[in-house]
C-alpha cells in the first residue's frame, strides 16, 4: 500500500490504529508459521470504526486484512507482499445476548469460542463447534473459516450454527445476512456464503448463533488397535450401529511414538493406532453408548481398552491427544499442518501412504484427527530450510487425497498456504464463479486480497 497514507489514516482512525514495528509484529504471523508484516494494525471497538476504515480503504484502495485471534493454520489473516491494514476484531468481545427462550446467542466477533461455550453451558445450553484452539480463538475467526473440531462428527460445523450475521462490506456499507430466528429461506444464503469466505468478502461484526440443549454427561474411552485399518473398521461399525459418538479421534503410529510414556500400554508393532471416543447425552445414555462403543471396538479387533468413566480420566485421554499436537510442533523447526478429508472408508488407504511419503521427502509425517468425519490432520515436520520440501510433500499428499475422492481441507481453510493447490481440486468454472462472487462483494479488491482464490 501507499505508506504516505499512514499519517492520514492515523489522524482519522485514532488511538487504536498503530504503525509502530512492535505493534505490527504482534500480527505478523499465525499458526501456519508464515510471516508477513502489514503496514498498520487497527483494533476497533465498534462496527462504526470498521465502517470508517473500509470507507477509507475504498477511497484509497489499500488492502484490509481481517484477523481474529491469529490461531489459523493457513495464513488467512496475514498481510501479503502488498502490505495493508490488519483489522483485529478480538477487541470486540461482548456477548450481546444469550437468549434461553429462543435458544440463540448474539455475539461480537471477538468473543472467544470457549467463553461462549461456557456462558451457554451456565444456562444449560450448548454451542458445539470446538476447534482445538477454542480457549483462544474467536467466533469471528471460526465463522470466517467455518471451523470444525472433534464434536462436529455429531453436531456439525460452525456454518450449521450461524443463523445470521452483520458484515461490513469492502466499501463500508454494513449488511445484515441471514436471520435472528432458528430458520429462514428468504433469498440466497448470504450468511452461509460469508461463513468460510476467510475474510475476503467483508468484516463480520456480529453473529447470531443457534444453541442447543447441553448434553448432561460425557463419557470417554480409548481403544488401541494393531493398525489404522482395523481402527477404521471399528469407526465404521460404530457409526453404523445407531450410536453417534460425540468424538472419534484417531492417532497413527507416528503420533503414538511421540507420547509413548503417557500410554499405559506398550505399543504393539509398527502400525498401531489409537481411537479416542466420546459419547454424550443423559448419564445413562452416555454410559450405555460408551459401553456399546467399547464392545464394538473389541469386536473389530481392539487390543486394549482404556475406559475413562470420570472427568479426570477423560482429561488424561485428551491430554494424550493435546500432547501429541504440542510435541509434533516442538519436534522440528518447520511444521506444516494439512487437514485433508477422505471418505471414512478410505482413511486406511491414506494412512498407509504416509510413511512412504515421509521417506520420499525426508520429512516427518504424523496423522491424527477426526476419523468419524474422515478429516485427518496430516502434520509434516522438517529441519531448517525444509519449508519448500514440506510444501512438495503437501502437494503429493493432496494428489493422493483427491484420487481417494477427498478434499484438501476440512476445517483449516485455504488462506495463503493452500492457495497454490486450489486449482488441483476446483474446476476452472467453479473458480470463475467464485471470482465472480468476490467481484460482486469487492469490485476494488481491498478485502484480504490474494487469499483463497487463484
> For the residues of 208-259, what is the DSSP string, one character each?
EEE-EEPPSEEEEEEEEESSHHHHHHHHHHHHTTT---SEEEEE-HHHHHHT
CB 143, CB 135: distance < 8 Å: no
Residue 63 to residue 82: CA distance in whole angstroms: 8
How distant is the alpha carbon of residue 137 from its chain centre? 9
Which residue's CB is nearer to a second copy, number 176 or number 298?
176
Which of 214, 298 has the CB closer to a second copy?
214
Q: Which is nearer to a second copy, 30 or 39 (CB)?
A: 30
CB of 115 to a second copy, least distance (A): 21
Shortest approach of a second copy to residue 263 CB, angstroms? 28
Q: Which is nearer to a second copy, 116 or 191 (CB)?
A: 191
Compute the least distance from the CB of residue 427 to a second copy, in Å. Answer: 6
Least distance from a second copy to the Cβ atom of residue 393, Å: 19
169 contacts: CB under 8 Å, gap ≥ 6: 54, 175, 201, 202, 441, 442
Task: Give the relative orientation of helices 387-403 and 347-361 as an angle to the nearest 10 degrees.
Answer: 150
Cα–Cα distance for residue pair 203/226, rounded to 1 Å: 48
C-alpha cell at 259: 507420547
Q: How far is the CB of 185 from a second copy (least distance, A)?
A: 5
Shortest separation between residue 182's beta carbon and a second copy, angstroms:
5
| C-alpha radius of gyration, the chain, whole number | 22
Closest CA to 371 of 223, 279, 248, 234: 248
Grid cell for residue 354 = 504416509
- For the bound state, the minimum distance from the C-beta of residue 101 to a second copy, rounded and expressed in Å, comes to 4
The nearest distance, CB 42 to a second copy, in angstroms, is 23
Asked if residues 151 and 129 have their Cβ atoms less than 8 Å apart, the reply is yes
DSSP secondary structure code for residue 420 in this structure:
G
| Residue closer to a second copy, measured from CB, 25 or 175 | 175
Q: Considering the complex, state which of residue 334 and residue 371 has its C-beta at the smaller distance from a second copy.
A: 371
User: How far is the C-alpha of 195 from the C-alpha of 421, rounded, in Å?
Assistant: 21
50 or 452: CB nearest a second copy:
452
For residue 83 the three cell numbers come to 502490505
Nearer to a second copy, 190 or 328 (CB): 190
Amino acid at each position: 500500500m501507499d505508506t504516505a497514507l499512514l499519517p492520514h489514516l492515523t489522524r482519522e482512525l485514532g488511538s487504536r490504529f498503530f504503525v509502530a514495528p512492535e505493534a505490527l509484529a504482534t500480527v505478523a504471523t499465525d499458526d501456519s508459521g508464515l510471516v508477513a508484516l502489514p503496514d498498520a494494525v487497527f483494533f476497533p471497538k465498534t462496527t462504526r470504526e470498521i465502517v470508517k476504515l473500509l470507507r477509507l480503504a475504498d477511497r484509497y484502495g489499500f488492502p484490509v486484512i481481517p484477523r481474529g485471534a491469529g490461531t489459523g493454520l493457513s495464513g488467512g489473516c496475514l498481510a501479503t507482499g502488498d502490505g495493508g491494514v490488519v483489522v483485529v476484531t478480538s477487541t470486540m468481545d461482548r456477548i450481546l445476548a444469550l437468549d434461553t427462550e429462543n435458544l440463540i446467542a448474539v455475539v461480537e466477533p471477538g468473543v472467544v469460542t470457549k467463553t461462549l461455550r461456557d456462558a451457554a453451558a451456565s444456562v444449560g445450553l450448548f454451542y458445539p463447534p470446538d476447534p482445538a484452539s477454542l480457549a483462544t480463538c474467536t467466533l469471528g475467526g471460526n465463522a470466517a473459516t467455518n471451523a470444525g473440531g472433534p464434536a462436529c462428527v455429531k453436531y456439525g460445523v460452525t456454518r450449521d450454527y450461524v443463523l445470521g450475521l452483520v458484515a461490513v462490506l469492502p466499501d463500508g456499507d454494513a449488511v445484515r445476512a441471514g436471520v435472528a430466528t432458528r430458520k429462514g429461506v428468504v433469498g440466497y444464503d448470504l450468511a452461509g456464503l460469508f461463513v468460510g469466505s476467510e475474510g475476503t468478502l467483508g468484516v463480520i461484526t456480529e453473529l447470531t448463533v443457534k444453541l442447543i440443549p447441553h448434553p448432561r454427561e460425557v463419557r470417554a474411552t480409548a481403544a488401541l488397535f494393531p493398525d489404522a485399518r482395523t481402527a477404521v473398521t471399528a469407526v465404521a461399525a460404530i457409526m453404523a450401529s445407531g450410536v453417534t459418538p460425540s468424538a472419534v479421534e484417531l492417532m497413527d503410529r507416528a503420533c503414538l511414538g511421540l507420547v509413548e510414556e503417557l500410554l499405559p500400554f506398550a505399543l504393539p508393532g509398527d502400525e498401531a493406532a489409537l481411537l479416542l471416543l466420546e459419547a454424550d447425552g443423559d448419564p445413562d445414555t452416555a454410559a450405555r453408548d460408551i459401553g456399546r462403543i467399547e464392545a464394538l471396538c473389541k469386536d473389530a479387533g481392539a487390543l486394549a481398552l482404556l475406559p475413562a468413566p470420570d472427568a479426570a480420566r477423560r482429561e488424561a485421554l485428551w491430554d494424550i491427544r493435546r500432547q501429541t499436537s504440542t510435541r509434533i510442533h516442538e519436534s522440528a523447526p518447520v511444521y506444516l499442518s494439512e487437514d485433508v478429508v477422505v471418505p471414512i472408508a478410505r482413511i486406511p488407504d491414506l494412512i498407509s501412504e504416509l510413511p512412504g511419503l515421509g521417506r520420499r521427502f525426508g520429512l516427518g509425517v504424523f496423522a491424527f484427527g477426526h476419523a468419524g468425519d474422515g478429516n485427518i490432520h496430516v502434520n509434516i515436520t522438517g529441519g531448517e530450510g525444509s519449508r519448500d520440501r514440506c510444501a512438495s510433500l503437501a502437494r503429493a499428499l493432496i494428489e493422493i487425497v483427491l484420487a481417494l475422492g477427498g478434499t484438501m481441507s476440512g476445517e483449516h481453510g485455504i488462506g495463503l498456504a493452500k492457495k497454490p493447490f486450489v486449482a488441483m481440486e476446483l474446476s476452472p468454472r467453479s473458480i470463475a464463479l467464485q471470482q465472480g462472487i468476490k467481484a460482486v462483494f469487492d469490485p476494488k479488491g481491498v478485502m484480504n486480497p490474494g487469499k483463497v482464490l487463484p
